[in-house]
């Protein structure tokens, strides 16, 4: 998705996106570097339906493999012409810092007694959405777009990125496991303070709050039993519907940002259509 956004942003202003494929690949390499390290921190057993690197080999191999991937990203970007290289490196370094900050907040939230909706949305803005924003900004900079258009495309990416992560939260609890490629209910098992859990804690009555606290306090439990019990509370509080509403609000903001980009509606339609598919995704 991320390299595709780079290519589509470039194509808003230039005809042949093949000229920047190498730099789009760099975005994907950076994304996979973050996933490899995230999987270690999250102790995740699966990624895209396959054993994670630290599970298949070992933790040291996963850490060092991720480190080398990050080095390769800088190598791939070095071929950008000097007139754009400094601007792109500054934007990339800002993005990379935000991704790390977001991951740190995500880890911190695991030990916080409470996390507000605003805190959570800021965390996913950093951890997930910043890279989507950079992916689009990169394509626009490479195409020689104006500063204003680059900014609008970055904001577009950030807003759809927040919506994308909220969708991921929803799918983690409700997706078809065969399509999702990860263990369904993993966030519930790990007590991750996703939008769904934060909203449930805010809306729960005394009985529901007591039951949520009970499941979150257990150290030994049957995973399927916990996932089922927590989802039952989510359903009673209409959490899936509230999450879908929040998702759609961010996609709406994103499309508003896209409309402000100074290029033809015809060229924007491909990017608009591609992004719209994210709303209804099942995996």
pLDDT in tens, 82-115: 999 999 999 999 999 999 999 999 989 988 888 9
Question: For residue 180, what pLDDT is reported?
Answer: 57
Whether the predicted pLDDT of 257 surpasses 60: yes
> In this model, does residue 9 exceed pLDDT 80?
yes
Of 34-38, 44-48, 191-195, 213-217, which range is least confident? 44-48
Residue 181 has pLDDT above 90, yes or no: no
Cβ-in-10-Å burial (0-12, 13-18, 19+) of 60 comes to exposed
Q: What does the pLDDT look like over 51-82, one tens digit per residue?
A: 999 999 998 999 999 999 999 999 999 999 99
Query: What is the reported pLDDT for 175?
Result: 84
pLDDT for res 182? 60
CA-based nearest residue to 194, from 254, 239, 228: 239
Instruction: Give the pLDDT of residue 176.
Output: 72
Q: What is the DSSP string of the chain?
A: -HHHHHHHHHHTT-S-GGGGHHHHHHHHHHHHHHHHHHHHHHT-SEETTEE-HHHHS-HHHHHHHHHHHHHHHHHHHTTS-HHHHHHHHHHHHHHHHHHHHHHHHHHHHTT-S---HHHHHHHHIIIIIHHHHHHHHHHHHHTT--HHHHHHHHHHHHHHHHHHHHHHHHHHHHS-HHHHSS-TTHHHHTT---HHHHHHHHH--HHHHHHHHHHHH-SS--HHHHHHHHHHHHHHTTHHHHHHHHHHHHHHHHHHHHHTSSS-HHHHHHHHHHHHHHHT---
Q: Are 258 and 271 in contact (CB under 8 A)?
A: yes
Band the pLDDT of 283: cuts 50, 70, 90. Answer: low
pLDDT confidence bin for 31, thresholds 50/70/90: very high
CATH topology of domain 2-82+89-279: Farnesyl Diphosphate Synthase (1.10.600)
Give the C-alpha separation, 97 to 18, whole Å: 28
Confidence of residue 42 (pLDDT cuts 50, 70, 90): confident
Tell me: pLDDT of 201 over 80: yes
Report domain extents, the chain: 2-82+89-279
């Amino acid at each position: 998705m991320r390299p595709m956004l780079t290519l589509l942003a470039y194509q808003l202003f230039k005809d042949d996106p093949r000229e920047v494929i190498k730099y789009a690949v760099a975005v994907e390499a950076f994304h996979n570097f973050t996933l490899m390290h995230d999987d270690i921190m999250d102790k995740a057993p699966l990624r895209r339906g396959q054993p994670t690197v630290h599970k298949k080999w070992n933790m040291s191999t996963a850490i060092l493999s991720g480190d080398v991937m990050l080095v390769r990203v800088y190598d791939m970007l070095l071929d950008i012409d000097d007139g754009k290289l400094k601007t792109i490196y500054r934007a990339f370094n800002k993005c990379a810092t935000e991704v790390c900050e977001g991951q740190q907040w995500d880890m911190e939230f695991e030990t916080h007694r409470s996390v507000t909706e605003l805190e959570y949305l800021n965390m996913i803005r950093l951890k997930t959405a910043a890279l989507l924003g950079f992916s689009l900004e990169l394509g626009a900079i490479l195409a020689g777009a104006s500063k204003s258009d680059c900014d609008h495309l970055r904001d577009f990416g950030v807003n759809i990125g927040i919506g994308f992560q909220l969708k991921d939260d929803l799918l983690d609890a409700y997706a078809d496991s065969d399509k999702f490629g990860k263990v369904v209910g993993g966030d519930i098992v790990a007590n991750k303070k996703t939008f769904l859990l934060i909203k449930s804690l805010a809306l729960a009555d005394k009985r529901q709050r007591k039951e949520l606290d009970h499941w979150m306090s257990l150290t030994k439990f049957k995973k399927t039993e916990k996932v089922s019990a927590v989802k039952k509370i989510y359903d009673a509080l209409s959490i899936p519907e509230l999450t879908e509403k929040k998702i759609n609000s961010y996609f709406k903001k994103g499309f508003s940002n896209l409309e402000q980009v100074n290029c033809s509606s015809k060229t924007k339609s491909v990017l608009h259509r591609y992004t719209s598919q994210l709303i209804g995704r099942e995996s």
